[in-house]
């Protein structure tokens, strides 16, 4: 009798332990971000989420490619660093089963220079650095077109490449570089189109230092992405609620002075 009681007690403790482990695993997620504002914002999200029982481990990356690869491979539960056109390009090109679940913030792309103060000063043959990934590269070219520096094919769309340039009066030379590397190359080119998160990480202030800035109401709102199979998991709603909280909005508005804009 006593032996059966002990065995039942042990089984009960084992089941309770298993349940606790499962619950902990469900309430703990890994979220990938790139350095700079995305990482800073996610730390605030982490604090807010903890109040609702969601533990977030923030994993920082130094490029745009690995966060989606890690998410698709199961090493992350979510990531927050990219806009939807970039995600859709990755889904199409790499077959990732990833989806957008929420909008986060907008980082208007800027054009920077250490050699000229206005784009009108650019000389024929000047070098312009742009990101080498399809969506951010196209974004930069569209910004250059809006500034009157070149003209793209009418059907080039958001994924425009240098091959889509149909008019280049100053014979500008487009230099394609990894987006994260462009701030360090600013001394080697005449102007550079830099994503705001990398610009701020390099100590550049878009409102003060950019000589041209993208319209913040464009299609490049940043997002939270997850695996399609996880869309109905309880932690997803908790993550979105934490990101869209008043605390995060207040942090973004006060910390970045308009260089980063909340999208909710």
What's the pLDDT score for residue 207?
83
Domain 27-107+219-262 sits in CATH 3.50.50.60: no
What's the pLDDT score for residue 58?
98
β-pairing, 173-177 vs 127-131, is parallel
Q: Which of 132, 129, 136, 109 is nearest to 174 (CA)?
A: 129
User: Could you tell me how far CA 14 lies from the centroid of its own chain?
Assistant: 42
Domain 110-213 sits in CATH 3.40.190.10: yes
Boundaries of every domain in the chain: 27-107+219-262, 110-213
pTM: 0.70
Q: Which of 103, 102, 121 is nearest to 111 (CA)?
A: 121
Q: What is the pLDDT of residues 89-121, one digit of tens each?
A: 999 999 999 999 999 999 889 999 999 999 999
Q: Is 12 helix (H, G, I), strand (E, B) or coil?
A: helix
Domains 27-107+219-262 and 110-213 share a fold: yes
Residues of the chain with pLDDT under 70: 1-26
The H or E element spanning position 201 is helix 196-201
What's the pLDDT score for residue 26?
53
What's the pLDDT score for residue 71?
98
What's the pLDDT score for residue 218?
79
């Amino acid at each position: 009798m006593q032996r059966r009681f002990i065995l039942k007690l042990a089984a009960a403790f084992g089941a309770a332990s298993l349940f606790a482990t499962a619950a902990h695993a469900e309430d703990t997620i890994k979220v990938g971000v790139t350095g700079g504002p995305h990482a800073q914002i996610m730390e605030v999200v982490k604090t807010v989420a903890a109040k609702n029982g969601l533990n977030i481990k923030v994993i920082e990356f130094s490029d745009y490619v690995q966060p989606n690869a890690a998410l698709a491979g199961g090493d992350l539960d979510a990531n927050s660093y990219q806009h939807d056109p970039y995600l859709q390009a990755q889904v199409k090109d790499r077959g990732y089963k990833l989806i957008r679940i929420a909008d986060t913030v907008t980082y208007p792309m800027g054009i920077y220079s250490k050699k000229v103060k206005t784009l009108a000063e650019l000389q024929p043959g000047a070098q312009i650095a742009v990101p080498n990934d399809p969506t951010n590269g196209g974004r930069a070219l569209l910004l250059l077109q809006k500034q009157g520096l070149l003209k793209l094919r009418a059907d080039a769309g958001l994924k425009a490449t240098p091959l889509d340039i149909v008019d280049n009066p100053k014979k500008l030379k487009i230099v394609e570089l990894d987006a994260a590397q462009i701030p360090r190359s600013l001394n080697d080119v005449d102007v550079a189109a830099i994503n705001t998160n990398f610009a701020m990480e390099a100590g550049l202030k878009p409102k003060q230092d950019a000589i041209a800035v993208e319209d913040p109401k464009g299609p490049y709102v940043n997002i939270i992405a997850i695996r399609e199979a996880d869309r109905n998991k309880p932690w997803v709603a908790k993550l979105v609620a934490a990101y869209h909280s008043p605390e995060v909005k207040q942090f973004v508005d006060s910390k970045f002075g308009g260089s980063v804009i909340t999208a909710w």
